Amino acid sequence: MSAPPKARLTNALARVPYAQFLGVRAELHGDELTLVLPYAEHLIGNPMLPALHGGVVGALMELTALTQLAVAARSEKFPKTIDIGVDYLRSGRPVDTFARARVVKIGRRIANVQVEAWQDARDKPIAAMHGHFLMPEDESPS
């Protein structure tokens, strides 16, 4: 746990094949984390409009919650997702997408997190998510 937070985060995401498959990268300013999903053709779910796949936007927000919780818990281990609820507000245009998470509460075992995803303007979110996550067991001897 001696690596600086930014490097730890990048390492943690780089180890997840699915994050690489999506092309997600993390930006950390202070303790504020933004996940960036650069536009790529394979993320499209509606080729007519074209629009990003709703599942991809949901996946980005879930990854944001998991990463933010890892930052908050100063751990390289990701929590486990219990449930998520995604509200789709606008169709995802074929441009870069950003997501930020707000940890509402971390309990002893369960965390509650809210996430928003946006594209051009932060105040025009394309989707919102709230979820519950099971925190990793504390490894330190008690």
Q: Contact residues for other proteins (CB under 8 A)?
A: 15-22, 41-56, 58-60, 62-63, 78, 80-88, 91, 93-94, 120, 124
Measured CA to CA, the distance from residue 92 to residue 43 in angstroms comes to 10
Q: Which is nearer to other proteins, 20 or 102 (CB)?
A: 20
Smallest gap from residue 122 Cβ to other proteins (A): 14
Smallest gap from residue 27 Cβ to other proteins (A): 19
Chain centroid to CA 117: how far? Answer: 9
Q: Which two tokens stand for residue 67?
A: 């990463």
Smallest gap from residue 21 Cβ to other proteins (A): 5
- Provide the pairing of β-strand 110-118 with 125-134: antiparallel
Q: Which is nearer to other proteins, 17 or 30 (CB)?
A: 17
Q: Which is nearer to other proteins, 22 or 111 (CB)?
A: 22
Smallest gap from residue 19 Cβ to other proteins (A): 8
Q: Which is nearer to other proteins, 31 or 139 (CB)?
A: 139
Q: What is the DSSP string of 37-100?
A: E---GGGEEETTTTEE-HHHHHHHHHHHHHHHHHHHTT-SS--EEEEEEEEE-S---SS-EEEE
Q: Which two tokens stand for residue 85?
A: 């609820």
Smallest gap from residue 25 Cβ to other proteins (A): 15
Q: Which is nearer to other proteins, 44 or 72 (CB)?
A: 44
Calculate Rg over the CA atoms of the chain.
15
